[in-house]
A and B are shown apart, each in its own frame.
Chain A
Amino acid sequence: MSRFWSVRRNADAVLAVTLLSAVTVLCILVPLFWPLDPARGVLAATFRPPMSVVNGQLHPLGTDQLGRDLLARLGLGTAISLGIVLLAAVISVVTGTLLGMIAGYFGGWIDIVVMRAVDVQLAIPFILLILLIVAVVGPSIGNLVLVLGVTGWAVFARVARARTLEVRELEYVEACRAIGVSDAAIIVRHVLPNIVGPQTVLLTLDLPRLIILEASVGFLGLGVQPPTPTLGNLIGEGRSFILLANWLVLYPGLVIGALVVGCNLLGDWLVRRADNRAS
């Protein structure tokens, strides 16, 4: 046990938690306590590099083309992006797991329909489908959450189905059926607990995909509309000024990188831990 928890073994997890908590602190503390307004700019102080002082006010990450404080915008933008991504992830996990369990448990034509729908979903590049739907329904935060969430179900359904197929054959499930427990009760009380673990791991590994997708849509200017900041919007707006003010692009990119590396390391670590436990 003590070797299992040795520092070397868990260096990845420590780094992951450090990165993720740094981002969490940024997106909670900055919107709450940083005194500068992310929407209000000082036109006399545009494109100030990081650590500039304007009228006695420090801008740690500099200012943008309208003289708005980048730290304030980055804090709020990260919070909005993370909010969208996490809500979307919940929708993906819930719909995917539910459909996967139903497909695996009942089999037959339900299984065929759900699994072919998974194939269809995975055949269309996510970004293209999301851009298409957002262009039709309009780019509000709510629509973005829905679209990202609904298009992300397929992987979760596939894994939930595979696991359900295994659990369905176990003796205690057999026993439940023999004493007349309803299908719904078996799925919720006996199949679901066996699936929660693997789905959580899958979620950590799927979050980076959602983070990058949300940022890509924002970068293209087709997501949440400015002046609301999101990670992608910030980079998209900063792109026109890279010659003049590359910090506008660099810092939001670092936040995305920290989030994605953090999630990937955490996910890999969870997978390894599950493997160790199994063996």
Chain B
Amino acid sequence: MKALSFIAGRALQGLIVMVGVSLIVFFALFLTGDPAALMMPPEASRVEIEAFRHAMGFDDPIWVQYLRFVGGVLTGEFGRSLRFQRPAVDLLFERLPATALLAITALLWSSLLGFVLGTIAAVRQNGAIDFVIRVISLLGQAIPVFWLALLLIIVFSLNLRWLPSGGIGTAQQLVLPSLALGAYYFSAITRLVRASLIEVLGENYIRTARAKGISNFRIVVHHALRNALIPVITVQGMYFASLLGGALITEIIFAWPGIGRLAVDSIQTKDFPVVQAVVLFAAFTFVVMNFLVDVAYVFLNPRIRL
């Protein structure tokens, strides 16, 4: 019962967050006071701007506009792209598979490798392997995505000529972008697993297990990792947002036709309905991810399941 009300509470919280996000996304366009002038090219005449203002409904009271915006979002109608004269939602969903492929590949390699290396580092704490792994993960968090991406292109595309530097379609083209995108995530997971496992390995029940003569491998895999995982899972949702941000940059550099490139292109051409759709979608994914993490947390941690 407690678990159910906990989950319901989190769902409600997610809903409130989405309302807040919709307010920000909507009112961001009014920061300069006149969204019509903002979206029209600078050489547009006064008459053209007025006509555009009326066509977009910017001359209605602001709360009417906001309700219309929210109503549209709820019925899947996000406004039309000014550049393509097509529904923004269609553009978004066209680009979605490319971003999903990139993000999932990056997520998979980085969490698997991060998990393994973090565990090794914790078991061999303060040893040589631990030192190497710590340096790698520190650098992985220090290097901006765009710089790492350019380095990868310089080394693997321009000098060694092993892998293509851009485009989509083949497995080889997926390697460099997913490497660049996953690097930060990989470092974060490695550091977290290491820190969390070291803490758990110092607990009394682990000492008891050791005293009983259970093998080191069994202690780490069966007894320690399970508990060490809990903090790692709770921050997954937070890091997911940085993954989305990183995808934006990665897609630009590797000419990857995903949502991130759509967002930057739309910002550069002042195609704000599309930008609004992308921001709302990103926030929605984030909220859903965090909700799923909360639910997983309930099942993993018996202390709140009671």
Contact = CB atoms under 8 A, between A and B. Distances in A.
Interface of A: 116-117, 119-120, 122-129, 131-133, 135-137, 208, 212, 215-216, 219-222, 235, 239, 242-243, 246, 249, 253, 256-257, 260-261, 264-265
Interface stretch (B97-105, B138-146, B223-231, B292-300): B138-146
Given A124-B279, A219-B146, A253-B151, A119 B17 contact: yes
A57 B31 CA distance: 48
30 contacts: A116-B13, A116-B16, A117-B20, A119-B16, A120-B17, A122-B241, A124-B21, A125-B245, A128-B244, A129-B279, A131-B263, A131-B267, A132-B25, A135-B270, A135-B275, A216-B146, A216-B245, A219-B144, A219-B146, A220-B264, A222-B264, A235-B146, A235-B147, A249-B147, A253-B150, A257-B139, A257-B143, A260-B142, A264-B141, A265-B138
B138 A261 contact: yes
B24 A253 contact: no
Contact of A216 (B16, B249, B286): B249
Contacts of A256: 143-144, 147
Interface in B241-295: 241-242, 244-245, 248-249, 252-253, 263-264, 267-268, 270, 272, 275, 278-279, 282-283, 286-287
A133 B241 CA distance: 18
Given A127-B248, A242-B153, 9 more contacts: A116-B16, A119-B13, A120-B24, A136-B29, A219-B146, A220-B249, A235-B147, A242-B150, A242-B158
Contacts of B238: 122
A261 B21 CA distance: 33
Contact of B31 (A119, A122, A137, A208): A137
Contact of B150 (A131, A216, A221, A235): A235
Given A125-B244, A128-B278, A253-B147, A136 B28 contact: yes
Nearest to B284: A123
Q: Which of B18, B24, B158, B238 has the most CB of A within 10 A?
A: B24
B154 interface: yes
B142 A253 contact: no
Contacts of B25: 132
Given A120-B21, A246-B154, A261 B16 contact: no
Contact of B245 (A127, A133, A239): A127
Contacts of B272: 135
Interface string B32-44: 1000001000000
Interface of B: 13, 16-18, 20-21, 24-25, 28-29, 31-32, 38, 138-139, 141-147, 150-151, 153-154, 158, 238, 241-242, 244-245, 248-249, 252-253, 263-264, 267-268, 270, 272, 275, 278-279, 282-283, 286-287
A237 to B, nearest CB: 12
Closest 7 CB pairs of A and B: A120-B20, A253-B147, A260-B142, A125-B245, A127-B245, A261-B142, A123-B283
Given A136-B31, A249-B150, A116 B17 contact: yes
Contact of A253 (B144, B158, B264, B267): B144
Contacts of B249: 127, 216, 219-220
Contacts of A246: 154
B38 A136 contact: yes
Given A128-B279, A132-B275, A212-B144, A116 B20 contact: yes
Interface of A is mostly: helix
A220 B282 CA distance: 19
A239 B141 contact: no
Nearest to A263: B142
Nearest to A246: B154
Nearest to B276: A132
A219 B264 CA distance: 12
Contact of A129 (B24, B146, B147): B24
Contacts of A243: 158
A128 B245 contact: yes
B31 A239 contact: no
A262 to B, nearest CB: 9
A127 B248 CA distance: 9
Contact of B147 (A119, A135, A222, A257): A257
B21 A128 contact: no
Contacts of B275: 132, 135
B245 A253 contact: no
A109 to B, nearest CB: 13
A41 B49 CA distance: 41
A135 B241 contact: no
Contacts of B268: 135, 221-222
Contacts of A128: 244-245, 248, 263, 278-279, 282
A105 to B, nearest CB: 23
Q: Which of B16, B153, B245, B282 has the most CB of A within 10 A?
A: B245
Given A119-B17, A220-B264, A260-B141, A132 B146 contact: no
A256 B21 CA distance: 31
Nearest to A261: B142
Contacts of A208: 141-142
A93 to B, nearest CB: 20
A127 B154 CA distance: 25
